């Protein structure tokens, strides 16, 4: 009679801890996505890259892997794992700088979230990771929302602007291309982490420096 109680008591806290952790990271992601347009307009990439490096180093030190990671570091492995994603992210940031100057914050944020769809697409192409039916449905709704916003933004701005093509070619197109690049870079980072066993924290440091 005592054994089942002990087993039940040991499994329940771990489940609660896991759900609390998931809620915490969900809140962080929500704050990140909501504040992204403001951050993009007011901040410098160098400032945020420096913050990324500091956080990554602290986390590696906390895990006790800092010395081992940097002792085994090689330039060739670094360029293989982080070089291409870093170049893609740099191009993506340039496109986003162009886009948010020609779109309102809501449209920019929603269109920018299409990178989730392209991440899933490239993850399937590169890593052959399939999505569930619920995930596919959610991605479909995301794309539909992006299409409707693009049509609405183009028509509303086009009626009030003397150059409506500017909204399309300097607002909508750049953010969608940036989303494609973001999805590709994310899939490449996941490939380097899972296949090449490259530390994700070390990749953060490498891409920030590059």
Report which of 31, 35, 195, 148 is spatially closest to residue 100, judged by C-alpha positions: 35
| pLDDT tens string 64-84 | 888 888 888 888 888 888 999
Report if pTM > 0.75.
Answer: no
Residue ranges per structural domain of the chain: 43-209
| pLDDT tens string 17-56 | 456 776 776 676 666 656 655 555 555 555 556 777 888 8
Cα separation, 131 vs 123, in Å, equals 10
With beta carbons less than 8 A apart as the criterion, state whether 142 and 111 touch.
no
- DSSP structure string for 114-152: THHHHHHHHHHHHH-----HHHHHHHHHHHHHHHHHHHH
Residues 6+ apart with CB under 8 A from 126: 187, 188, 190, 191
| pLDDT tens string 164-193 | 788 889 988 999 999 999 999 999 999 999
Q: What angle do CA 55, 84, 132 make, to 5 degrees?
A: 80
Over residues 55-65, mean pLDDT? 85
Residue 194 pLDDT > 80: yes
């Amino acid at each position: 009679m005592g054994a089942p109680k002990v087993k039940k008591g040991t499994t329940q806290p771990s489940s609660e801890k896991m759900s609390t952790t998931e809620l915490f990271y969900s809140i962080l992601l929500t704050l990140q996505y909501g504040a992204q347009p403001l951050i993009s307009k007011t901040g410098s990439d160098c400032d945020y890259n420096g913050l990324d490096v500091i956080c990554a180093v602290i986390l590696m030190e906390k895990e006790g892997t800092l010395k081992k990671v940097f002792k085994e570091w090689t330039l060739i492995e670094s360029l293989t794992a982080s070089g291409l994603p870093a170049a893609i992210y740099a191009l993506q940031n340039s496109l986003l700088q162009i886009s948010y100057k020609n779109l309102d914050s809501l449209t920019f944020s929603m269109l920018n979230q299409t990178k989730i769809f392209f991440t899933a697409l490239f993850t399937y192409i590169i890593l052959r990771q399939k999505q569930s039916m619920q995930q596919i449905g959610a991605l479909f709704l995301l794309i539909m929302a992006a299409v409707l916003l693009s049509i609405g933004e183009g028509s509303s701005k086009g009626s009030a602007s003397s150059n409506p093509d500017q909204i399309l070619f300097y607002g909508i197109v750049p953010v969608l291309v940036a989303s494609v690049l973001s999805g590709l870079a994310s899939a490449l980072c996941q490939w380097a982490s899972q296949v090449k066993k490259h530390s994700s924290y070390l990749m953060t440091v490498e891409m920030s420096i590059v």
